[in-house]
Each structure stands twice: as structure tokens, then as C-alpha cells.
């Protein structure tokens, strides 16, 4: 294996990969030699992202899907496996936010955030884990947030989804580690993306999508006898 491409030939499925953190992760894994399957809801943005990755030399498959639906997930996993091979790296990155007083939120706000940020991770991991268990190897990497550890006004629903994601990750790690499957969580602070407007903050002082992608690189290149269970990422300067 080329030392410059330590995951060459491995298949990586990344959700929420048409822009921002997900696209940066897909770019990093492609550069390391992985064949990447990228997923998002917007087919036009997804195709544009895939075209950019192909220009950079990556082997890429783009599949539009709603990852809150188990039927879409089944199709996503099947198409990825048939086109690229068995999935060895799963990056659960897709996420949405709702920010405002919890007591003023609608039930639909709760459902959309929890379904996207938490339920989808359960469904995707459930779909991919059997193959990883059969091969006795694989990495599941969940992108959470420092909001999963720190409370703030207006963050009730979003924080609940990320606290839940951290807990889910830790339990899945214990379930799967005896079989050689590693489950990790990355908790970034504020990242300069389109996710939110970051009013009053200096984007030059924020984390960049590439910082989270680098953390993913560290996890997937870890020696097989160990795994990094959690990474907390903060900018060196408060934005």
C-alpha cells in the first residue's frame, strides 16, 4: 500500500457531503486513496460536489437520499456496495439545527432535528454494521458538536440531538469493539460553514471544515489494535 494513500481502495460513505464539513471529509479521504460515496438531499449540489472531487482524482459516487428514511438508506447502502464495494468507513456527518427557546418550538422542529441528527445515525449504522462485523473491521465516525457537552440558551433541541449522539456513539463503540469495528465521535466547536450565520463572529478565527476532515484522517489511519473514541476540537482563538 502506498504510504501516501493509507486507505487506498477502502470504500467510505459520507452523509451531508455536498458542501462544508462533509465535502471536506470526502476530499480528504479521496486524497488518502478511498473510494467515496457522497450523500445529500439536493441532487444538483451533490453532482457539483462530485464533479469537483473527480477533477481532484477521486473515485466518487453521488447518491441523493433522505437519510431519515430507512428505505432511502437501504438503497444508498446497496448502490454504494454494488458500485464501489463493501463499506469500510461510514461518516455520519449530516445535520441540521433549530435554535430558539425550546418551549416555543413546534413538534415538527423536534422531529426534523432528532430524525436527521440522531435517528439517521442509528439507521445508517444498523445498515452498515453487519458487513463490518462479517469482515471484522471498519470505522464508524459520527460528527457531533461541543453543543453535545455545553448548554446554551436557545439550543435545547440541537443540544439534545448532539448529547444523544455522543451517548449513542459511546454505547455502539462498546457493542462493536470486540469485533474489530471502531466507533468514534468528533465534537467541533464553531465551524465556518453555511450551517449558521455566526452573527458577530470572525470566521477567520473559527474552525475550518478542513480541521474536522483532518480529525477524520487521524481516526482512519490509527493502528488497528487501538482506536480514538472521541476528539474535541476548538479554535485556538475564540471567534
Q: Is pLDDT of 197 > 80? A: no
Q: CATH assignment of 11-233, given 3.40.50.170, 3.40.50.720, 2.30.40.10, 3.90.950.10?
A: 3.40.50.720
Is residue 98 flagged as an active site residue? no
The pLDDT of residue 127 is 98
Q: Using 50, 70 and 90 to split pLDDT, how confident is the model at 3?
A: low
Query: Among residues 158, 169, 190, 231, which one is catalytic?
Result: 158
12 pLDDT exceeds 70?
A: yes
Q: What is the mean pLDDT of residues 215-236?
A: 96
- Give pLDDT, residue 207: 95
**pLDDT interval class at 116 (50, 70, 90):** very high
Start-to-end CA distance of the chain, whole Å, equals: 41
As beta bridge partners, residue 39 has 15, 63
Residue range 65-115, pLDDT digits in tens: 999 999 999 999 999 999 999 999 999 999 999 999 999 999 999 999 999
Average pLDDT, the chain: 95
Amino acid at each position: 500500500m502506498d504510504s501516501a494513500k493509507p486507505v487506498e481502495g477502502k470504500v467510505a460513505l459520507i452523509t451531508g457531503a455536498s458542501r462544508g464539513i462533509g465535502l471536506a471529509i470526502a476530499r480528504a479521504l479521496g486524497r488518502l486513496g478511498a473510494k467515496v460515496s457522497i450523500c445529500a438531499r439536493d441532487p444538483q449540489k451533490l453532482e457539483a460536489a462530485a464533479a469537483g472531487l473527480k477533477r481532484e482524482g477521486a473515485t466518487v459516487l453521488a447518491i441523493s437520499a433522505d437519510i431519515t428514511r430507512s428505505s432511502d438508506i437501504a438503497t444508498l447502502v446497496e448502490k454504494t456496495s454494488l458500485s464501489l464495494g463493501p463499506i469500510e468507513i461510514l461518516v455520519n456527518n449530516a445535520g441540521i439545527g433549530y435554535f430558539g427557546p425550546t418551549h416555543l418550538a413546534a413538534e415538527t422542529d423536534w422531529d426534523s432535528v432528532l430524525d436527521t441528527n440522531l435517528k439517521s445515525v442509528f439507521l445508517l449504522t444498523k445498515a452498515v454494521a453487519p458487513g463490518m462485523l462479517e469482515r471484522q473491521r471498519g470505522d464508524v465516525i459520527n460528527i457531533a458538536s461541543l453543543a453535545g457537552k455545553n448548554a446554551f440558551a436557545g439550543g435545547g433541541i440541537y443540544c439534545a440531538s448532539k448529547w444523544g449522539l455522543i451517548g449513542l456513539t459511546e454505547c455502539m463503540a462498546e457493542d462493536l469493539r470486540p469485533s474489530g469495528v471502531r466507533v468514534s465521535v468528533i465534537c467541533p466547536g464553531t465551524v465556518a460553514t453555511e450551517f449558521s450565520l455566526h452573527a458577530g463572529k470572525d470566521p477567520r478565527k473559527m474552525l475550518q471544515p478542513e480541521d474536522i476532515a483532518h480529525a477524520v484522517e487521524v481516526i482512519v489511519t490509527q493502528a488497528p489494535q487501538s482506536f480514538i473514541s472521541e476528539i474535541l476540537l476548538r479554535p485556538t482563538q475564540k471567534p
